Amino acid sequence: MYSAEFSSRTDVTETTNLAAIEQLKEQRFNEKNLIIYNPPGENDELSARFLRSLAFATFKRRSPAFLRDLIIFLQDRETDIIEQCGEYAHFDLKRTIWSLELLRDDIINNRDFQIFRVKAPDTDSWNSFLKGLGEDRRQWFSAVWLHADCYMYRRIWSIFQRSETLKNYDYFGDQKTSIVTNVAPLMRDILVSTKGIRRSQEDFQYLLKLSAWSNHGDLNITRRGAHDKIYKQIAKYDIDLLADQSSDVWQDLIEASAPVYVDIVCDNAGFELFADLLLGEYIIESGLASRVRFHVKAIPWFISDCTHKDFNWLLKFLRKHEFQELNAFGKRIRAYIRDRSFILCDKSYFWTSGHDCSQMKRVQPCLYVYISQASLVIFKGDLNYRKLLGDINYKPTTQFSDCLRGFQPASVCALRVIKSDIYCGLPLCTVEKLSEQNPEWMVTGDKAVVQVAIKHRLSSDIIV
């Protein structure tokens, strides 16, 4: 009896001591890296230097855990990777894993960002961006969150680019394709339910909101896929739309001067891309626009983001599928691409840069002019929303258009499921009420916004 009690007390004491040691380590880390215990102030740039922020949680826990999982995935899939990339991939994989471990250690210890040495189309622009950061903004916990987040994924890509056998390997590819396979029945049901819908404000708003809520499944945030009854419940989801300007988007399109183009800056591959293609088809078939142009990522990005490879893979998946509805839809999409009603835009490394959209005209003027040809540019998802706002902690009631800081090449629409602590254009006291109910509401993906900043373009306008 005495022995058991003594053992139990010893275990409790050891646990308490370990907790105290961890707490002391956390305190020393916070003091060394000047971590701020107050939340970000109004108009502050979001950063992991704020203890009470998602940015801090990202680099303290999420990103190290993600890199650990990526390393384990590569180790577990070594045989398949060698079969796909060749025998020498065995040696390249070891070097790649070692480099990923170094990256993880850099984040944990808040080391300085490194310039990129592997030559790639965006190496010079990334290095120029990094050198332009202030000295206090070149570390994981002091940099603007958007900059550090994008730098991490660009660094991962750079690690794979060092290897001849692995440079074209999409280390997120398996996760993206497996999700698509699982939701094929859902895609078929949606195609059946939307067959024959005609040009109307109600139907347009339905498909616009479906495209917005399709962002619900995001492998960077959650392992949840698309809800299997989402297409039947769009109206029920309206209560969770904290801002709904879908009627303004409709009005803007029907009043636009010809030629009318709609650009969609895509977010996730798979089901979300499917919903974007469906919206694009409706826009073309209903005569709302003569062309829909899709912008995707140039490199593997934030786990589930769509690349050119993912776009083409989905079209092939649809055309080859045993479900007649998916097969027919895939063939229609291919026809749109062939007659240039749909355009898959050329690679632009702006979308995988550290720059926010307010810098596009300066750093990528050709892209800015290109999207200025559109009547409406739809930005999908949370990361694109952060690029629009520049990760600035605006007052929640500040108008969406004011938060774009001059970026308005055309009417700009944001379709976003909220997965980070940045927002604007919300009704008075919305954030306060939601935070009182659940302090973590902004990271659950249960709320969304459809927002637009209108810019009327006349047919006589000259784009400069």
Please, are residues 288 and 253 in contact by the beta-carbon 8 Å criterion?
yes
Question: What is the spatial distance between Cα 355 and Cα 390, in angstroms, rounded to a whole number?
Answer: 8
pTM of the model: 0.94
Strand partners, 139: 112
Instruction: Give tens-digit pLDDT for 284-303.
Output: 999 999 999 999 999 999 99
List the structure tokens of 87: 């025998």
Q: Is the pLDDT of residue 224 over 60?
A: no
Please count the CA atoms within 13 angstroms of the CA of 282 that sit on its side-chain side: 26
What mean pLDDT is reported for the chain? 93
* Per-residue confidence (pLDDT) for residue 456, from 0 to 100: 81
Nearest to residue 204, comparing CAs of 147, 282, 271? 282
Of 138, 153, 144, the closest CA to residue 67 belongs to 153
Cβ pair 48, 59 in contact under 8 A: yes
Identity at 397, one-letter amino acid code: T
Pairing mode, strands 241-244 and 448-453: parallel
To which CATH superfamily is domain 173-453 assigned?
Answer: Uncharacterised protein PF01937, DUF89, domain 3 (3.40.50.10880)
Q: What angle do CA 234, 240, 242 make, to 5 degrees?
A: 120
The pLDDT of residue 237 is: 87
Mean pLDDT of 171-195: 93
pLDDT tens digits for range 308-366 = 999 999 999 999 999 999 999 999 999 999 999 999 999 999 999 999 999 999 999 99
* Ranges 193-207, 283-297, 322-336, 449-463: which has the least confidence: 449-463
In CATH terms, the fold of domain 23-161 is Transcription Elongation Factor S-II; Chain A (1.20.930)
What is the share, in percent, of the chain residues with pLDDT greater than 90?
87
Continuous segment of H or E residues that includes residue 436:
helix 430-437
And the tokens for 131?
């050198």
Residue 382 near residue 415 (C-beta atoms within 8 A): no
* Phi, psi values for residue 294, rounded to 5°: -105, 130
Nearest to 228 by CA among 241, 218, 239, 216: 216
Please say whether the beta carbons of 131 and 114 come within 8 A.
Answer: no
Distance between start and end Cα atoms, the chain: 86
Burial class (CB in 10 A: 0-12, 13-18, 19+), 5: exposed
Report the distance separating Cα 46 and Cα 146, nearest Å. 8
pLDDT digits 0-9 by tens, 379-428: 999 999 999 999 999 999 999 999 999 999 999 999 999 999 999 999 99
For every residue of 424-463, DSSP letters joined together read: -SPPTTHHHHHHHH-TTGGGSS--EEEEEE-----TT---
| pLDDT tier at 463, thresholds 50, 70, 90 | very low
Decide: residue 57, CB within 10 A, 0-12 exposed, 13-18 middle, 19+ buried: middle
Domain spans of the chain?
23-161, 173-453
